[in-house]
Amino acid sequence: MVSHERWPAVTRTDAFKEKVSKAKILAVGAGGIGCELLKTLVLSGFQHIAVVDMDTIETSNLNRQFLFRREHVGQSKAVVAAEAVKRLRPDAQITAHQANIKEDRFGIDFFDGFDLVLNGLDNLDARRHVNRMCHAARVPLVESGTSGYTGQVSVHGQLSRAETPSTSQPAIEAECFECQPKAAPKTYPVCTIRNTPDKPIHCVVWAKEMLFQRLFGRQEGVSDLDSHQAAEPPSEADKEALALQKDDASAFLMVPGESIEGYSRRIFDRLYCSDIKRLLSVQDLWKARTKPKPLDLAELVPINAPSAGPSHVNGHANGHPNGTSEAAVASASAALGLTDDHAMWSTADNAKVFLKAIELYRTVRAQDLGAAVFDKEDLLACEFVTAAANLRSIVFGIPTQSLFDTKGMAGNIIHAIATTNAIVSGLIVGEAMKLVANMPHKCRVSWLNERPNPKTVINPVELSTRAPDCAVCGPALLTLHTNTHTATLGDLVSQVLKGSMGLSQPWSITCSDFMYEEDEDLEEDEADTYAALSPRPLKDLPGGGLGNGAVVSIADQPLLEDGSPARKRSMQLIIRHQADWDGQRDPSQQFRLIGSVPAPVPPAGAAEGQKAGADDDEDDVPLLMENGAGEDEDEIVILPAAEKRPADAQLKRKAEVAEADAAENPSPKRRRAE
Amino acid sequence: MRRRSEPREDLPHVTSRRWIALLDKRTLSIPHVPLRDRKYDRQLRIWGAHGQQLLESSRVCLLHCGPTGSETLKNLVLGGIAAFTVVDDAKVQPHDLGNNFLLDSSSLGKSKAQHVTTLLEELNESVAGSFVEESPSTLLETNPDFFLSFTLVIATQMIEPDVIKLEDLCHSLEIKLLVVRSYGLVGSLRASLQEQTVIESKPDNHVENLRFHKPWRELEDFAMSIDLATADDILHKHTPYAILLIQATKQWHATHGPELPQNAREKQAYRDILQSWQRRIDDVPIEEENFTEAIENSRKVFAPPGIGREVQMVLYDPKAMELDPRSSDFWVLAAALRDFVEGEGEGCLPIEGSIPDMWATTELFLALQRVYRDKAERDTAAVRGHLARRLASIGRDAAAIDAKTLRNFVKHAHCLRVVRWRRLAQEVAPGTCDAAALRQALGDEDTAANACLYLLLRAVDRFHTLHARFPGCYDGEFEDDVPLLKSVAVGMLAEVGLASGALVDDLVHEVVRCGTLVYNAMASTTSVFQF
């Protein structure tokens, strides 16, 4: 029997099969990877699976998300996928949640209920969230992503759950998903976008993020670009140009009594003629640049030309508003006979599509006005952005693009095929099995390459250990049991924070919007505000309260033995509500703290010599891909920063891409389904 | 380069109002992006319309529809092949349920091929499915003509002797063959085709053929039309590096003769020419982005891309040298391309027409691009002339290969490839087997385990031939089967003169233990390494 305790021999034992059938799995995402993963999981004997996905099924999913059929378009991915795999294994228990994994109900307790979390996600934000929840709940995480022919599977977190603290085997901890920095999304300086575009992408960003939003979207969303503080001051010329464009949101509204045609033509003239003339008046901008050339709409599309045609407002009632229904899809280019997605539209074509798209939004899509969100699956939105971006490109002497290419850029479409997802999900299940078998030392990070590298297409590598300075898994993790209805903030501070944890000033605790700190240098009114919170029960504190499952971040700066300040220290404290504890009766028994506070460490600099050696391997570690089977990742973030060069050095064709830390500069746009 | 160009006045809107009314109705009833394009959007962005078209003309025959075969075919059906046929004589057994996603309890006792076909058809309505309820090996014996209608045969879970027979047939019919096998936690995949010609091989690192070292007349004239000495500062720092390199090369030849810079000293002398042209303040060169780019890209002058070895192999392949009426379009095109290289091209491939991004004014960039594009047009026209002659010489119509195909071929001239496979029959026969390669693979730490598994998977098939069963398939015989399988493998090594030391006992155990078990995770993974 001893030989069966080895991998992979162990997979044939009844004990292993039993473990697999009992393991509780959380699958996050039911898209390209998710469909394959769910299928492979149930066919490998897993029987308890919860699946969370907030998306609905799109036509463009059908080339790989094989659990879905044409008739499912528009329905919940999680629900349809769960039903499909249940048919494969009627004895499996599959729970579907059509929801965003970031919702409150999927708190630590929810994650804690699983033995394994398997990610098939399409965006970095959700990946980070799941990583943090897994870390807090001490659940191992298998992360994955694909893009075209390439993909990767990695294993993170505490890999062996210390269910029996008596075992001498130490818990194996791999690096968390955020131990290694992730590539930040591309950003573009706002001045380039607004005043001096010189690449097609600049015009696409302008059309999608600024114009589309302004004309059809939520008005409050528009101001994002204007109100941000620039990281570097714009040049004088840029400032002048920006000032010219300020405060004119009302100009994009339809005037009472205005016809749709009159309106759309007025918007056109404003964007491609009068705004451009105003920009031209800022002469400093054009000293070293090619001047933009305003467009004359009357010349391109004479008034009364039949191009815009009459609209048929009827016939939409049976259609899905964002183009998922096969019938009744509003399309400006179809109305104009532009049937080739890959063709380049002429200037006049672009102008006609622009006018027609506004008309269609004002008629058949009127219910979306004021709330439209750009969606790459929405044909009309893509057409509008293509035409609007192309017209701007023409004005600035930039090459134009086809509908197909613009859609790819505006939607940040990640290539996706069934085969890569199948390989990756097979690998995920392999890692899941090793974890279920409690053989974490067998786990590997696997890289799937487009070509053999050097001789194999799949390259497994050993797991990395935690990065000591990781902001997520680096801090010590402690758990605090208490009755959050009766224990007060004052009790927490005196008995736990300053008591058993022995924090030294200055220290602070934060939990979402709530913050409390102690520091000699606090202003009087700040200290008063904090003092007023002191008698409140934990669950009634601002920002949602410190209830069950809340994760409190703690930071302080202790002193070393010699009295000098140590390195700043951070910890995470998970609150566990104990409803049956009555702190009133025995105040000394209100709290039970599990975990230990890390010892003070000398400040950085003392350990530098060591660190240099430790970094040696990092060049060989490829960056984790951030894309899952879906494609909403890498939203274009407009960084409201001034261009970095003086104006006379800007005449160039090079992309000016500012790298921003995604964590510090979250996208101003929210994802569509949130 | 895609640039707004000729206004298109041939659109219906200028014809009549009735047209418009018609179109407008269409606006509201038919999505203008064909469903096909929307469904395949994410993959079209990988392999393009041409790749999709090839996929959509594939007719695939699957032999055996267990987990490996079903998973394989699923991925192809989703991608949109034209048609498939499943060949399997088995009825659905209880043990089939639970590891094949296309089977459920309602299919028990029914034809496996039929059931799998029905469900696969549901995955994609544009794919036509059919099935034959017969054993693949029987079909191979009794009705070899059956395979004639396919472009690809995928043989899954078949043993070596059957595979060799199938390969014989596929070769004679010029059908592509893929052999896929899952065995426990191990899988193997082997393609067997006579040859595969590739136009768009998508190499990782492609250096554009920009001809800085050998500009044609128009390019040189254009480059020399800019006088750096008299240019204003703005023009000076926005002269594209292509022009700087062409001018520097001309000066180099004027002072150093016809040879390009060879060694480090000469290369530095070349870069010094560029640096000497930079504008200065107090004799310190001011930073000019275009000069930095020129210096970085000067290796494109020293080591011009030329014609790669693999492309040479295509151009001078016997099939391109000796055309006959049965020559495929690829080889006729290759011959025409060679005519160009040896003629007008003066040893160079045709210009591709696109240029990389470079620091420049928009006007200069576009003008430069036009020079390249015009040359690309002329080169393509020249190849077209050769093609017409070549076609005529083998009695085919001069227009037999359309302009679009030609253009695509010329555009990808730098990445043409021909791949030929060794026959499986040669690979396994003791007389023709490459024993040296096997010895090396077994000896090298990186490849030893895979090589050992390769041998064992073949040993398993020979075991099957000898004992009419797979090793380890009966629990009771497990202990006996380990030495039996090992002796088979040792015998195979001996046949090709190799010692048995390379066999890893653990792997022998593992292969016997996993018996014929197929893990879905493994099947899912193995099934996809083919496109």
The Cα–Cα gap between A23 and A49 comes to 8
Element (H, E) at B103: none
Q: Given B100, B525, B530, which is nearest A426 (Cβ)? A: B525
CA A401 to mean position of chain CA atoms: 27
The three-state DSSP-derived secondary structure of A208-264 is: HHHHHHHHHCCHHHHCHHHHCCCCCCCCHHHHHHHHHHCCCHHHHCCCCCCCHHHHH
Q: CATH number for the domain including B48?
A: 3.40.50.720
Residues of B120-141 as b/e, b for ≥16 C-beta within 10 angstroms?
beebbeebebebbebbbbebbe
- Angle value at C-alpha B188, between B182 and B190, nearest 5 degrees: 130
Contact A312 B41 (CB under 8 A): no
Is there a single domain that holds both residue A257 and residue A127?
A: no
Please check whether residue B349 lies inside any domain of the structure: no
Q: Is B216 exposed, middle or buried (0-12, 13-18, 19+ CB in 10 A)?
A: middle
Please determine, for residue B25, whether its predicted confidence score (pLDDT) is greater than 50: no
A191 given a catalytic annotation = yes
Report which of A381, A370, A382 is spatially closest to residue A216, judged by C-alpha positions.
A370
- Angle value at C-alpha B204, between A409 and A142, nearest 5 degrees: 70
Element (H, E) at A154: strand A150-158
The Cα–Cα gap between A33 and A41 comes to 12
**pLDDT, position A239:** 66
Helix, strand or coil, per DSSP, at residue B117: helix
- Angle value at C-alpha A369, between A363 and A375, nearest 5 degrees: 105
Q: How far is B189 from chain A (nearest CA, A)?
A: 13
Report which of A4, A108, A88, A106 is spatially closest to residue A47, judged by C-alpha positions.
A88
Is there a single domain that holds both residue B279 and residue B225?
A: yes
Band (pLDDT 50/70/90 cuts) for residue A638 is very low
Please check whether residue B202 lies inside any domain of the structure: no
Please check whether residue B23 lies inside any domain of the structure: no
Please check whether residue B204 lies inside any domain of the structure: no
**Total domain count, chain A:** 3
Q: Which residues does B138 contact at the CB level (< 8 Å), separation at least 6?
A: B89
How many angstroms separate the Cα of B138 from the Cα of each of B87, B141, B158? 10, 5, 12
Strands (E), A345-499: 444-448, 458-462, 476-482
Is there a single domain that holds both residue B73 and residue B155?
A: yes
**pLDDT, position A242:** 62
Q: Calculate the average pLDDT of chain B.
A: 85
Strands (E), B157-237: 176-183, 186-192, 195-198
Q: Which residues pair with A212 in a beta bridge?
A: none
**pLDDT, position A605:** 53
Question: For residues B318 and A632, which has the higher predicted lDDT (pLDDT)?
Answer: B318
Band (pLDDT 50/70/90 cuts) for residue A246 is low
The Cα–Cα gap between A577 and A480 comes to 8
Closest residue on chain A to B100 (Cα): A43
Please check whether residue B524 lies inside any domain of the structure: no
Is there a single domain that holds both residue B49 and residue B176?
A: yes
Contact B31 A379 (CB under 8 A): yes
Please check whether residue A442 lies inside any domain of the structure: yes
Q: Please say whether the beta carbons of B329 and B406 come within 8 A.
A: no
**pLDDT, position A524:** 83
Q: What percent of chain A clears pLDDT 90, i.e. is strictly above it?
A: 27
Q: What does the block give as tokens for B357?
A: 């991004």
Chain B hits for A652, Cβ within 8 Å? 238, 289, 359-360
Please check whether residue A616 lies inside any domain of the structure: no
Q: Is A228 exposed, middle or buried (0-12, 13-18, 19+ CB in 10 A)?
A: middle
Ordered DSSP codes for A13-29: SHHHHHHHHH-EEEEE-
Please determine, for residue A540, whether its predicted confidence score (pLDDT) is greater than 70: yes
Is there a single domain that holds both residue A347 and residue A203?
A: yes
Say yes or no: B363 contacts chain A, CB-CB below 8 A: yes
Is there a single domain that holds both residue B256 and residue B180?
A: no
Is there a single domain that holds both residue A359 and residue A399?
A: yes
Please check whether residue B91 lies inside any domain of the structure: yes
Q: Given A342, A379, A425, which is nearest B524 (Cβ)? A: A425
**pLDDT, position B479:** 77
Q: Given A66, A312, A339, which is nearest B28 (Cβ)? A: A312
Band (pLDDT 50/70/90 cuts) for residue A264 is very high
CA A538 to mean position of chain CA atoms: 31
Contact A59 B35 (CB under 8 A): yes
Structure letter (DSSP) for residue A170: P
Mutate to test the interface with A, among B15, B33, B234 (most CBs of A within 10 A): B33
**Total domain count, chain B:** 3
Is there a single domain that holds both residue A357 and residue A379?
A: yes
Q: CATH number for the domain including A308?
A: 1.10.10.520
Domain end residue (candidates: A398, A429, A462): A462
Tell me the mean pLDDT in the region B415-431: 90
Is there a single domain that holds both residue B144 and residue B90?
A: yes
Tens of pLDDT, residues B38-75: 788 888 888 888 788 889 999 999 999 998 899 999 99
How many angstroms separate the Cα of A133 from the Cα of each of A180, A463, A509? 17, 20, 19
Is there a single domain that holds both residue A442 and residue A383?
A: no
Please determine, for residue A518, whether its predicted confidence score (pLDDT) is greater than 70: yes
Domain end residue (candidates: B254, B271, B302): B302
> Among A31-45, A373-387, B90-104, whose mean pLDDT is lowest?
B90-104
Chain B hits for A416, Cβ within 8 Å? 42-43
Please determine, for residue A166, whether its predicted confidence score (pLDDT) is greater than 50: no
Please determine, for residue A102, whether its predicted confidence score (pLDDT) is greater than 90: no
Q: Calculate the average pLDDT of chain A.
A: 77
Q: What does the block give as tokens for B397?
A: 């119509």
Q: Please say whether the beta carbons of B33 and A338 come within 8 A.
A: no
Band (pLDDT 50/70/90 cuts) for residue A648 is very low
Is there a single domain that holds both residue A407 and residue A422?
A: no
Please determine, for residue B129, whether its predicted confidence score (pLDDT) is greater than 90: yes
Is there a single domain that holds both residue B164 and residue B225?
A: no
Return the half-sphere exposure (C-beta side, CA atoms, 13 A cut-off) of residue B17. Answer: 5
Is there a single domain that holds both residue A424 and residue A404?
A: no
| H helices present in B316-434, as ranges | 318-321, 329-342, 362-393, 403-411, 424-428
Is there a single domain that holds both residue A519 and residue A483?
A: yes
**pLDDT, position B317:** 96
Domain end residue (candidates: B168, B184, B200): B184
Mutate to test the interface with A, among B16, B18, B28, B122 (most CBs of A within 10 A): B28
Helix, strand or coil, per DSSP, at residue B149: helix
Band (pLDDT 50/70/90 cuts) for residue A389 is very high
Report which of A219, A160, A405 is spatially closest to residue B41, judged by C-alpha positions.
A405
Is there a single domain that holds both residue B148 and residue B277?
A: no
How many CB atoms are located within 10 Å of the residue B160 CB? 20
The catalytically annotated residue of A35, A134, A179, A191 is A191
Please check whether residue A643 lies inside any domain of the structure: yes
Q: What does the block give as tokens for A585?
A: 């009766």
Is there a single domain that holds both residue B57 and residue B158?
A: yes
Please check whether residue A622 lies inside any domain of the structure: no
Band (pLDDT 50/70/90 cuts) for residue B116 is very high
Tell me the mean pLDDT in the region B235-239: 91
Contact B521 A420 (CB under 8 A): no
Which residue is associated with the tokens 């469909």?
A: A35
The Cα–Cα gap between A439 and A498 comes to 40
The Cα–Cα gap between B400 and B406 comes to 11
Band (pLDDT 50/70/90 cuts) for residue A311 is very low
Sign of CA dihedral B169, B174, B175, B176: positive
Helix, strand or coil, per DSSP, at residue B456: helix
Question: For residues B335 and A229, which has the higher predicted lDDT (pLDDT)?
Answer: B335
Please determine, for residue A655, whether its predicted confidence score (pLDDT) is greater than 60: no
Is there a single domain that holds both residue B254 and residue B174?
A: no
Domain that holds residue A496: 476-594
Element (H, E) at A271: none
Tell me the mean pLDDT in the region A434-441: 91
Is there a single domain that holds both residue A226 and residue A335?
A: yes
B174: left (phi over 0), alpha (psi -120 to 50) or beta: left
**pLDDT, position A553:** 84
Chain B hits for A390, Cβ within 8 Å? 4
The Cα–Cα gap between A575 and A552 comes to 8
Tell me the mean pLDDT in the region A7-21: 87
Is there a single domain that holds both residue A256 and residue A162?
A: no
Q: How far is A10 from chain B (nearest CA, A)?
A: 11
Tens of pLDDT, residues B362-371: 788 889 989 9
Residue A189: asked if its preceding bond is cis (omega within 30°), the reply is no
Please determine, for residue B528, whether its predicted confidence score (pLDDT) is greater than 80: no
Say what the ipTM of the complex is.
Answer: 0.74
Q: How far is B359 from chain A (nearest CA, A)?
A: 5
**pLDDT, position B526:** 53
Element (H, E) at A510: strand A507-511
Please determine, for residue B152, whether its predicted confidence score (pLDDT) is greater than 90: yes
Band (pLDDT 50/70/90 cuts) for residue A170 is low
Q: Which residues does A232 contact at the CB level (< 8 Å), separation at least 6?
A: A641, A642, A644
The Cα–Cα gap between A131 and A509 comes to 21
Tens of pLDDT, residues B246-279: 999 999 999 998 888 988 899 999 999 999 999 9
Band (pLDDT 50/70/90 cuts) for residue B24 is very low
The Cα–Cα gap between A419 and B78 comes to 10
Domain that holds residue B495: 424-515
Residue B471: asked if its preceding bond is cis (omega within 30°), the reply is no
Please check whether residue A627 lies inside any domain of the structure: no
Say yes or no: B519 contacts chain A, CB-CB below 8 A: yes
Band (pLDDT 50/70/90 cuts) for residue B194 is confident
Please determine, for residue A330, whether its predicted confidence score (pLDDT) is greater than 50: yes
**pLDDT, position A161:** 55
Element (H, E) at B163: helix B160-173
Please determine, for residue A387, whether its predicted confidence score (pLDDT) is greater than 90: yes
Is there a single domain that holds both residue B256 and residue B173?
A: no
Q: What does the block give as tokens for B504?
A: 């890893």
- Please give the torsion angle defined by the CA atoms of residues A330, A331, A332 and A336, in that order, rounded to the nearest 10 degrees: -120
The Cα–Cα gap between B208 and B299 comes to 12
Is there a single domain that holds both residue B177 and residue B293?
A: no
Residue A185: asked if its preceding bond is cis (omega within 30°), the reply is no
Please check whether residue A169 lies inside any domain of the structure: yes
Tens of pLDDT, residues A118-140: 999 988 888 988 998 999 888 99
CA B254 to mean position of chain CA atoms: 44
Q: Is A60 exposed, middle or buried (0-12, 13-18, 19+ CB in 10 A)?
A: buried
> Among A57-66, A141-150, A279-288, whose mean pLDDT is lowest?
A279-288
The Cα–Cα gap between B371 and B360 comes to 15
Q: Given B37, B75, B361, which is nearest A341 (Cβ)? A: B37
Q: What percent of chain B clears pLDDT 70, i.e. is strictly above it?
A: 89
Interface of B with A in 314-353 (CB under 8 A): none
Chain B hits for A346, Cβ within 8 Å? 4-8
Please check whether residue B357 lies inside any domain of the structure: no
Please check whether residue A624 lies inside any domain of the structure: no
Please determine, for residue A617, whether its predicted confidence score (pLDDT) is greater than 80: no
Is there a single domain that holds both residue B60 and residue B161?
A: yes
- Angle value at C-alpha A169, between A164 and A174, nearest 5 degrees: 100
**pLDDT, position B27:** 35
Domain end residue (candidates: B131, B166, B184): B184
Contact A40 B521 (CB under 8 A): yes
Residues of A111-143 as b/e, b for ≥16 C-beta within 10 angstroms?
bbebbbbbbbbbbbbbbbbbbbbbbbbbbbbbb
Please check whether residue B528 lies inside any domain of the structure: no
Please check whether residue A630 lies inside any domain of the structure: no
Ordered DSSP codes for B267-318: HHHHHHHHHHTS-EETTEEPP-HHHHHHHHTTHHHHS-----HHHHHHHTSH
Contact B520 A44 (CB under 8 A): yes
The Cα–Cα gap between A360 and A310 comes to 10
Ordered DSSP codes for A546-595: S-TT-EEEEEE--B-TTSSB---EEEEEEEEE-TT--TTT-GGGS-EEES
Is there a single domain that holds both residue A523 and residue A641?
A: no
Is there a single domain that holds both residue A173 and residue A217?
A: no
